[in-house]
C-alpha cells in the first residue's frame, strides 16, 4: 500500500527482542478493543509463550484478537500451540499453509514476511523481529541483532488499513468467516509527536517496488552518508548503480551484512558483488558476533527506515513486507549510532585488497552462487523486475 508521509507521530527505536517483547506485551495488556498481529515466525519458546499468553488474556477480557502467521515461517510450530488463543476467543490464520513442500513456484514462494502489531489503533509495532527468543538460531552465544519500532500517531491509520485488507484477503481464500470490519479507531491515531513518518507496504500487485523505490530515492538524495544494515543483500543492477553513483559523488556508503550466514548460498552470491562495490569505494562490514537479522538504514542523519524487507529479489519481488520510513534527525542519528556501536563491537571490515587476491576457487564458488540465484529468479519469471 502506497501512502504519503504523515506528521505528528512518535517513534521509539527497539533493539532486539530484549526491548521489543516487553514493549509488545505491555501494549497488549493495555488493549481494550482490538489487537492485530502479523508475524513470519511465531515460535513455541519462552518469548512465544509470553506473547501468546498476553494475547489470550486480552481475548478473554473481550478484546478482538486476530493473529496471522506465515505457513512456511511458522511451519515448525504445532498448531496446538495456538489452542490457548482460539479457546480464549482469538482468531488465528496461517498465510499460505505449506501443503506442497517440494513444489517450487511463485505461488509457494510468496510469503507474508511482515512483522506488524497494532493495538487499539493507538500503538503500533513495525520491524524485523519475529516472535522467537533472541538466542534461538542466533548462531552464537550472543543475541540475534535486530530492530523494531514502536509508533504512535496518525500513520497508524495506514497500518490498520493494510492489516485489515490482508486479513480479509487471507480469510476469503481460506473460506473463513470474514472480518466484520474494524472498530472506529479514527480518534485513536491522533497526533502525539513531531516525527514525519510513512508506512510503506509491498504486495505482489501494484506496490511491488515501493520499498525499493523508497531506498533508491533516499540514496539518490544523499549528500554525506548512507548506512544500510541488511542480512540478505542481493539487490538488482538499478539499486547497485544508485549506490555506486552516490559513492562517486563523495557520499560515504557503508553496508553491514551477515558474517554468520544461515543461508550460505545467498551469502556466497552476495560476496560475488563485493569486488565491484569495494572497487567503487563502498565500505562493507560483515557482522559475525551473532546472526544479523535487522533490515534498517539511515541517510544523512535525516532519513531512516525500519522494517521487514531485505534487499534481495525474494524480499523485493515475492514477499509481503512492511517498513516505516522516518524523516527525523533525532531518530536517524540514534539508529546510526546504535548500528555503529554494534558494528565496532562485532563486525570486521572487508578490504578491497583482500577480496582482490581471493583464491580462484573461492571467487568461482561465489560467482556460481550468484549465477544460480539469477537462474532461480529467471525461472520464477522475475528477472526483468530484479534488474
| Partners of 124 in beta bridges | 118, 151
**Phi and psi, residue 384, nearest 5°:** -65, -40
Q: Which of 53, 331, 104 shows the shortest CA–CA distance to 198?
A: 331
The question of whether 295 is a catalytic residue gets the answer yes
Count of residues in the chain: 387
Q: Residues 70, 203, 210, 300: which is the catalytic one?
A: 300
Q: Residues 43, 160, 285, 293: which is the catalytic one?
A: 293
Q: Residues 70, 120, 203, 328: which is the catalytic one?
A: 120
Q: Residues 133, 210, 295, 328: which is the catalytic one?
A: 295
SS (H, E, C) the chain: CCCCCEEEEEEEEEEHHHHHHHHHHHHHHCCCCEEEEEECCECCCHHHHHHHHHHHHHHHCCCEEEEEEECCCCCCCCHHHHHHHHHHCCEEEEECCCCCCCCCCHHHHCCECCCEEEECCCEEEEECCCECCCCCCCCCCCCCECEEEEEECCCHHHHHHHHHHHHHHHHHHCCCCCCCCCCCCCCCCCCCCCEEEEEEEECCCCCCCHHHHHHHHHHHCCCCEEEEECCCECCCHHHHHHHHHHHHCCCEEEEEEECCCCCHHHHHHHHCCHHHHHHCCCEEEEECCCCECCEEEEECCCEEEEECCCECHHHHHCCEEEEEEEECHHHHHHHHHHHHHHHHHHEEEECHHHHHCCCHHHHHHHHHHHHHHHHHHHHCCCHHHHC
The question of whether 120 is a catalytic residue gets the answer yes
Q: Residues 15, 43, 70, 113: which is the catalytic one?
A: 113
Q: Residues 115, 160, 207, 285: which is the catalytic one?
A: 115
Q: Which grid cell is 226?
A: 548512507
The question of whether 115 is a catalytic residue gets the answer yes
CA angle 318, 228, 356 (to 5 degrees): 100
* Active-site residue set: 113, 115, 120, 293, 295, 300
Amino acid at each position: 500500500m502506497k501512502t504519503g508521509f504523515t506528521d505528528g507521530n512518535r517513534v521509539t527505536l527497539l533493539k532486539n527482542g530484549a526491548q521489543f517483547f516487553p514493549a509488545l506485551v505491555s501494549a497488549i495488556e493495555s488493549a481494550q478493543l482490538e489487537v492485530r498481529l502479523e508475524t513470519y515466525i511465531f515460535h513455541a519458546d519462552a518469548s512465544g509463550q509470553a506473547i501468546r499468553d498476553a494475547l489470550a488474556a486480552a481475548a478473554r477480557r473481550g478484546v478482538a484478537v486476530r493473529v496471522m502467521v506465515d505457513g512456511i515461517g511458522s511451519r515448525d510450530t504445532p498448531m496446538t500451540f495456538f489452542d490457548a488463543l482460539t479457546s480464549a476467543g482469538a482468531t488465528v490464520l496461517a498465510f499460505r499453509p505449506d501443503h506442497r513442500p517440494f513444489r517450487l513456484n511463485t505461488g509457494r514462494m510468496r510469503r507474508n514476511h511482515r512483522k506488524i502489531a497494532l493495538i487499539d489503533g493507538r500503538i503500533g509495532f513495525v520491524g524485523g523481529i519475529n516472535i522467537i527468543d533472541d538466542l534461538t538460531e542466533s548462531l552464537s552465544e550472543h543475541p540475534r541483532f535486530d530492530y523494531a519500532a514502536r509508533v504512535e500517531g496518525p500513520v497508524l491509520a495506514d497500518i490498520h488499513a493494510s492489516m485489515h485488507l490482508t486479513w480479509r484477503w487471507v480469510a476469503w481464500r481460506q473460506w473463513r468467516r470474514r472480518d466484520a470490519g474494524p472498530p472506529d479507531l479514527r480518534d485513536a491515531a491522533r497526533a502525539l509527536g513531531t516525527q514525519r513518518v510513512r508506512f510503506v507496504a509491498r504486495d505482489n500487485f501494484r506496490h511491488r517496488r515501493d520499498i525499493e523505490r523508497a531506498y533508491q530515492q533516499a540514496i539518490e538524495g544523499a549528500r554525506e552518508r548512507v548506512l544500510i544494515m541488511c542480512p540478505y543483500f542481493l539487490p538488482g543492477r538499478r539499486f547497485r548503480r544508485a549506490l555506486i553513483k552516490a559513492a562517486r559523488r563523495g557520499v560515504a556508503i557503508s553496508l553491514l551484512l551477515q558474517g554468520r550466514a544461515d543461508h550460505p548460498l545467498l551469502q556466497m552470491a552476495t560476496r560475488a558483488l563485493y569486488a565491484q562495490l569495494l572497487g567503487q569505494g563502498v565500505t562493507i562490514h560483515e557482522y559475525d558476533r551473532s546472526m544479523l537479522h535487522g533490515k534498517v538504514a539511515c541517510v544523512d542523519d535525516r532519513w531512516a527506515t525500519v522494517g521487514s524487507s531485505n534487499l534481495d529479489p525474494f524480499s523485493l519481488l515475492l514477499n509481503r513486507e512492511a517498513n516505516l520510513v522516518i524523516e527525523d534527525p533525532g531518530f536517524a542519528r540514534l539508529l546510526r549510532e546504535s548500528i555503529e556501536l554494534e558494528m565496532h563491537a562485532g563486525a570486521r571490515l572487508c578490504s578491497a585488497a583482500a577480496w582482490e587476491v581471493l583464491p580462484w576457487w573461492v571467487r568461482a564458488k561465489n560467482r556460481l552462487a550468484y549465477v544460480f540465484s539469477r537462474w532461480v529468479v529467471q525461472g520464477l519469471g522475475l528477472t526483468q523486475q530484479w534488474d
